[in-house]
Structure 1
Amino acid sequence: MSCSVQKDIDTAIYDVYYEAKTRGSFINIHFKERTVTFKSTTEDKSIVLSKIDANTINEILSKIKLSEISNLKAPSDKRFYDGALIANFTIKKNDTSYVSSPFDHGNPPKELQALFNKLQSFIK
């Protein structure tokens, strides 16, 4: 890993919100510092991450072009007919917020797939 990327990871403060919802059902995942909070229609839990896991998430975030996430194309359209929850990410880096385009829960744009998979791995 280059020094400039490591420096960016060390100084950037990320606050990540994943939200998926439809009529009568919701999933919220929140990552900040070393904590992942999960809330759903049926469950509520908080996980304290190891420093290595938190750094892995920060590394994934540092590779995402945040200014472009609002224009990403969803790979599927099941959310349009209640075939999937409508999901999106809101990522705050320092004091700036970036909101992704909506996508089907479980099937984010490829640019957000690694982040989604890593967050999901902690709540299973």
Structure 2
Amino acid sequence: MPYAPGTRCSDPSCGDFAVDHGKCLKHRRKAWENPSQHTLQIDPAREREWRKLVKAKTNGMCAWCAKPGAVCDHIVPVGEGGALYDPANGQYLCTDHDRDKTTTDLARMSAKRRSNVNFRR
């Protein structure tokens, strides 16, 4: 079976073929063009200081198992209202426990989103 012909860029002044969401390479949105609100809030100096304080709370050891830690983690995720730079909302975790916590957080947030969906009848 033959392939469908390619579509043209949705920009009225362009005749090139679309490659990404109806836009050609020249007119498609760049990944960094519209940063999220979270990205705009991040201050690299404050982030470094927060990480240093969180790591110092447990002397570089995982807060859950006392093995050497590797990752600074927000206890209450920022997306759920946790403070971005409050050291009290931070914990230092080993990679295994960070993976476990991230999986649990994502499952909880996904379930919460699913339960908040308004269905039209």
Q: Report the TM-score when normalising by structure 2.
A: 0.21
Bigger share in strand: 1
Larger relative contact order (CA 8 Å, sep ≥ 6): 1
Q: TM-score, normalised by structure 1?
A: 0.20
Question: Quick check: which has more Rg, 1 or 2?
Answer: 2
